[in-house]
Amino acid sequence: MKNRTIDEYELIEIPKIVADDGRGNLSVVEKDLIPYDIKRVYYLYDVPSDSIRGGHAHKELKQFLIALSGSFDVVLDDGKDRIVITLNRPYKGLYIPNGLWRELENFSAGAVCLSLVSETYDEADYIRTYDDYLAFKGT
């Protein structure tokens, strides 16, 4: 969708079950938590702190990111405005609709980023350069 704006992202609280006996916590992502069916799951890890991941937009794919361990920043851009969202809790996820540019940066040591996406891999769905993204948006 070409006319997406950065205010369409959503931070979603993932249900957290706390063990009464101190054995730790459990969080569950079930069907109704995110607004699409999950077709692919992948995760990023061992990312150097000075690396940037992402650096693209999707025409159709929707994405839900969770910092399972550590922290990282997600930069969202709609061609006019940018926002930085820090993910650092395994019970909060970031829903990114299609049509937004995204970059992941500032990975802490040991950070693990889980990505739950709405589509299987399709190179034709990617917008790989920011200039192409701006052209796609018509800005």
What is the set of active-site residues? 56
Domain 6-17+36-137: homologous superfamily in CATH: Jelly Rolls (2.60.120.10)
Print pLDDT tens along the chain (139 aa): 668 898 999 999 999 999 889 899 999 999 899 999 999 999 999 999 999 999 999 999 999 999 999 999 999 999 999 999 999 999 999 999 999 999 999 999 999 999 999 999 999 999 999 999 999 998 7
Cα–Cα distance for residue pair 4/112, rounded to 1 Å: 27
Query: Which residue type, as a one-letter code, is found at position 18?
Result: V
What letters, b where the CB count within 10 A reaches 16 and e where it falls short, cover 119-133? beeeeeeebeeeeeb
What predicted TM-score, i.e. pTM, was given to this entire model?
Answer: 0.94
Query: Which residue type, as a one-letter code, is found at position 63?
Result: Q
